[in-house]
Amino acid sequence: MPRSKEQFEEMRNATRKKIHSAAMQLFAHQGFGLTNVQDIADTAGVSIGLLYRHYKTKDQLFNELVAYAVEGLKRNITFFESDQSPRMLLAQFVDEVYTDMINGEELAHLLILINQSLLAGAATASEHYEEILQVNAKLLDSTAELIRKGQQLGEFYSGDAQEMASLFYASIQGLAQMKVLLKSNFTMPSPSLLTAFLLKERK
């Protein structure tokens, strides 16, 4: 019995997901330059011909992954700019980061991927380089504004909100690098430790 259009689309999506996962893993562990298309196909468990049916070049695949990561950053900005309690928003965000980091490698890989695309410049991420710079700056600013609101409400410790936001993201980025490097020896700090310099203890 021939497959339906929906079944073909389901198979196509499953293949792309395997390719995405393999590419993120390899780019994070050995870098864009040292990863070739055959490596990605082998890790994904697909033929190189099938991979080329989905992506014509390694750069196209890399750019799609970066675009996916950028959309995630944009969602975080929208989340932080909502009218809910600053304490609740930050605590929920950190809980999600913690859960993602202990349950898999995708978040760590995505964070490293964004970092790689910025360090490599337009050479490997020409489609998204400027956008990543703008979105990263916007995320830092929206987080700093969230911290200021929390400080005004007495929920956050005092201090320069921009500096505190920078330290917050540097911690998460560093933990992503450590997770990839240390593998099973990595221990993710608790949400309360990640926010210890930001959130005051409830009385």
For the chain, the C-alpha Rg in angstroms (whole number) is: 19
Residues 62-77 pLDDT 10s: 889 988 889 999 999 9
Q: What is the CATH number of the domain that holds 178?
A: 1.10.357.10
Write down the pLDDT at residue 160: 98
Do 83 and 157 belong together in one domain? yes
- Does 88 share its domain with 20? no
Same domain, 1 and 86: no
> Do 44 and 63 belong to one domain?
no
Together in a domain, 169 and 75: yes
Q: Where are the alpha helices (DSSP H) in the chain?
A: 5-34, 37-44, 48-54, 58-80, 86-103, 106-120, 122-125, 129-152, 161-182, 191-194
Could you give the CA distance from residue 18 to residue 108 in angstroms, rounded to a whole number? Answer: 17
Whether residue 2 has pLDDT greater than 70: no
Q: What is the pLDDT of residue 142?
A: 97
What pTM does this model have?
0.87
Which tokens belong to 162?
Answer: 């921009």
- The domain boundary, picked from 40, 56, 72, lies at 56
Q: Each residue of 36-58: pLDDT tens digit? A: 999 999 999 999 999 999 999 99
Which tens digits make up the pLDDT trace of 80-125? 999 999 999 999 999 999 999 999 999 999 999 888 888 765 455 4
- Same domain for 84 and 46, yes or no, is no
Is residue 119 domain-shared with residue 63, that is, in the same domain?
A: yes
Whether residues 37 and 88 fall in one domain: no
Range of the domain at 28: 1-56
- Residue that finishes a domain, picked among 56, 72, 99: 56
Under 8 Å between Cβ of 28 and 55: no
Do residues 39 and 77 share a domain?
A: no
pLDDT single digits (tens) 136-179: 999 999 999 999 999 999 999 999 999 999 999 999 999 999 99
Q: What is the CATH number of the domain that holds 2?
A: 1.10.10.60
- Do 130 and 120 share a domain, yes or no? yes
Output the pLDDT for position 102. 95
Domain boundary among 56, 82, 102: 56
Q: Is residue 17 located within the same domain as residue 67?
A: no
